Amino acid sequence: MASALPLQNILSCPAHVLPDIVQTPIDVSQKPYKAPTRILIIGAGVFGLSTALSLSQRPEFAQTTITILDRSPETGVFPSRDASSIDSSRIIRPDYADPSYAKLASEAQARWRETEIGRDGRYTESGFILAADAGPLMREDGSPTGIAYAKKSWVNAMALAQAEGRPLSSVRLMAGAKRLARVTGVGEFADWGYLNDASGWADAEASMGWFYEQVIETGRVTFVNGTVESLETNEAERKVTGARLKDGSTISADLVITAAGAWTPTLIDLSSQAIATGQVLGYIDLTEEEQKKLEDIPVILNLTTGFFVIPPRNRVLKVARHAFGYLNPKTPSQAPLGIPGSEKSTVKPISQPFTHIDDPSLSIPEEGERSLREGLRRLIPWPELQERPFSRTRLCWYTDTATGDWIIDYHPYWQGLFVATGGSGHAFKFLPIIGDKVVDCIMGHCPIEFQQKWKWKAVDDIEKAIVTQDGSRGGEPGLILEDEFKRVSKDK
Ligand SMILES: Cc1cc2nc3c(=O)[nH]c(=O)nc-3n(C[C@H](O)[C@H](O)[C@H](O)COP(=O)(O)OP(=O)(O)OC[C@H]3O[C@@H](n4cnc5c(N)ncnc54)[C@H](O)[C@@H]3O)c2cc1C
């Protein structure tokens, strides 16, 4: 992701010379906007639900009917329990290497901190350590490493503290593994890092539940359980006219907003832009005493390895790996909607989510479990936790783009089709505001600093482009889920 300052300047940047990340360019375009009569949103995760709330609150859409569809198999449960927006926790941090996301996250963070969404235990400002292992600032391919990301982020975090009137001491540099271990009271988990007191974590499932209730209360949005099989089109007019569901029914709409997370590439050809990658999580049960010892630690993330832990709640500790993830290429029964005549609209394998809803006995590959175990041992090297089994593991799916930027834009060919996806493992924190940004983009007022980042992009070299190279990922790129599962059976 781009930064306002070249890296070499940032790394030698004294604390009082901070990048200006608080200037918002003003969008002066005032085009009149005519709202569609019927809007259909596919997916009730962070992108879909937040968009539904924002649409229901805008006067321009007062006469528009809004329907939101989700493949959730449980009636009245939105989103589906295997959506990436549903979990025990998500990190809420404005700690980004990219100043535009840092500023946007800070706007979202203010809502978590100051408004109802963050109450009743849904948001906890535990502090957050962003750390990395020592090493070069660039990978061989020229992309940034974890340490480069962390150092840029530190500068941006200080700039935000200054702009928001917080003391600079709320962002404390912690050079050295021993210092990091001493301050956190855990192991020597990284070589360099900083603690941002103004970051924390959210109970993701509870927050989504609260948000869903807010949308219901508007009385403006119809929720439908159903799985979209394909988008309906009028080819002569190059228009998307609605969606066909697996049960054979159709829902017509003048505007379809596709916010289907990691499933989006199975509906729309995004092969040049976004891909589903499976990420591993493990939960470990603690004793009351262990809970007490760990409950006040900050959230900790090492960007070189990708490992992170969230302070435990109810005697459960979560450890996870923010990684390149697993690919799960499968040939779909039909091609996703592409541009007619283009080679890309033919049926070919697409990486698709595979979750505990597809197979309730699903575990994670041995590679992932071993790696989580190593991460846990380094982060919390207590003898009593060394061999304690994970009480539960989970595969959770990112919708990854090459730069980690989202895709919030109209389809370049089909009218009446808008895409809001590409969360790339970091969109949850934006739940309180992302819908407003999506609706701004629908109305033609995409924030200027995001116009290039969020736009529909065509990338020629698919294989190369689709690894998220923003410096935030650990693990190995290109692992294939099925191969990793097979490796276990062979080893056993
Ligand atoms: C392990 C993990 C850790 C993460 N950690 C963080 C973090 O710490 N901080 C942070 O900010 N972000 C984090 N993220 C990222 C964040 O959770 C996601 O970016 C965000 O939740 C994505 O929301 P979404 O709406 O795109 O997708 P989802 O939440 O997956 O929602 C998509 C919905 O679309 C529905 N759907 C799909 N296909 C169809 C269809 N054909 N018909 C009908 N409905 C359909 C699905 O059922 C689903 O409910 C993490 C993600 C994961 C997986």
Atom of ligand 1 minimally distant from the CA of 43: 34
In ligand 1, the atom with minimum distance to the C-alpha of 227 is 42
pLDDT of residue 462: 54
The reply to whether ligand 1 has any atom less than 6 angstroms from the CB of 423 is yes
Q: Is the CB of 227 under 6 A from ligand 1?
A: yes
pLDDT at 176: 93
Mean pLDDT of 456-479: 75
Task: Tell me the CA–centroid distance for residue 48 and ligand 1, in Å.
Answer: 10
At residue 341, the pLDDT reads: 77
CA–centroid distance, residue 19 to ligand 1 (Å): 32
pTM: 0.93
Centre of ligand 1 from the C-alpha of residue 43, in Å: 9
Lowest mean pLDDT among 163-167, 211-215, 448-452, 458-462: 458-462
304-332, pLDDT tens digit by residue? 999 999 999 999 999 999 999 999 999 99
Indicate the SS3 state at residue 302. strand
Find the 84 Cα to ligand 1 centroid distance in Å.
3
Closest atom of ligand 1 to 86 CA is 29
- How many residues are listed for the chain in this entry? 492
Separation of CA 81 and ligand 1 centre (Å): 10
Using one digit for the tens of pLDDT, what is the confidence trace for 381-422? 999 998 999 999 999 999 999 899 999 999 999 999 999 999
- Between the alpha carbon of residue 476 and those of residues 144, 367, 394, the distances in Å are 15, 11, 19
Q: Is the pLDDT of residue 16 over 80?
A: no
Q: Is the CB of 109 under 6 A from ligand 1?
A: no
pLDDT for the residue numbered 489: 54
138 compared with 123, residue with greater pLDDT: 123
| Three-state secondary structure call for residue 464 | helix
pLDDT at residue 395 in the model: 97
Q: DSSP of 385-435, one letter per residue? A: HHSPPPSEEEEEEEEEESSS--EEEE-SSSBTEEEEE--TT--GGGHHHHH
Q: Ligand 1 pocket, 280 CB below 6 A?
A: no
Quick check: CB of 309 below 6 Å from ligand 1? no
Task: Give me the CATH code for the 33-484 domain, please.
Answer: 3.50.50.60
399 lines ligand 1 (CB under 6 A): yes
Model pLDDT for residues 225-263, shown as the tens digit of each residue: 999 999 999 999 999 999 999 999 999 999 999 999 999
Pocket flag, ligand 1, residue 79 (CB < 6 Å): yes
* CB 43 less than 6 A from any atom of ligand 1: yes
Q: Is the pLDDT of residue 366 over 60?
A: yes
In the predicted structure, residue 66 carries a pLDDT above the cut 50? yes
Best of 84, 223, 232 to mutate for ligand 1, by most ligand atoms within 8 A of CB? 84
421 lines ligand 1 (CB under 6 A): yes
At 476 the pLDDT is: 85
Residue 77 has pLDDT above 90, yes or no: yes
Are 27 and 447 spatial neighbours (Cβ–Cβ below 8 Å)?
yes
pLDDT at 464: 57
Average pLDDT, the chain: 91
Query: Tens digit of pLDDT for each residue in 189-199?
Result: 999 999 999 99
* pLDDT on residue 4: 37
Residue nearest to atom 27 of ligand 1 (CA): 261
Q: Ligand 1 centroid vs 111 CA: distance in angstroms?
A: 20
In the structure, what pLDDT confidence band is assigned to residue 452 with cuts at 50, 70 and 90? very high
**Ligand 1 within 6 A of 425 CB?**
yes
Name the residue ranges covered by the structural domains of the chain: 33-484
| Closest to 338 in 3D by CA, of 271, 275, 397, 290 | 271
Residue 398 CB less than 6 A away from ligand 1: yes
Angle in degrees, 0-180, between the axes of helices 204-218 and 431-442, rounded to the nearest 10: 50
CA-89 nearest atom, ligand 1: 8
26 pLDDT higher than 70: no
Identify the residue with better confidence: 12 or 89: 89
What are the percentages of helix, strand and coil residues in the chain, rounded to 5?
Answer: 30, 25, 45
What is the structure's pLDDT at 189?
Answer: 93
State if residue 279 touches ligand 1 by the CB under 6 angstroms criterion: yes
Atom of ligand 1 nearest to the CA of 266: 41
- Which atom of ligand 1 is nearest to 48's Cα? 25
Q: Does 89 have pLDDT greater than 80?
A: yes
Reported as a single tens digit per residue, the pLDDT across 258-311 is: 999 999 999 999 977 999 999 999 999 999 999 999 999 999 999 999 999 999
Q: Evaluate whether 272 touches 458 at the Cβ level (below 8 Å).
A: yes
Ligand 1 mean position, distance from CA 187 (Å): 31
pLDDT confidence tier of residue 140, bands split at 50, 70 and 90: confident
Please give the pLDDT value at position 30: 62
pLDDT digits (tens, 9 = 90+) for 91-137: 999 999 999 999 999 999 999 999 999 999 999 999 999 999 999 99
Q: Is residue 73's pLDDT more than 70?
A: yes
Determine what percent of the chain is predicted with pLDDT higher than 90.
Answer: 82
Kind and range of the H or E run holding 10 = helix 7-11
Q: CA 410, CA 456: separation in Å to the nearest integer? A: 7
262 C-alpha to center of ligand 1: Å?
7
SS3 category, 190? coil
**CA–centroid distance, residue 260 to ligand 1 (Å):** 8
* Over residues 336-357, mean pLDDT: 84
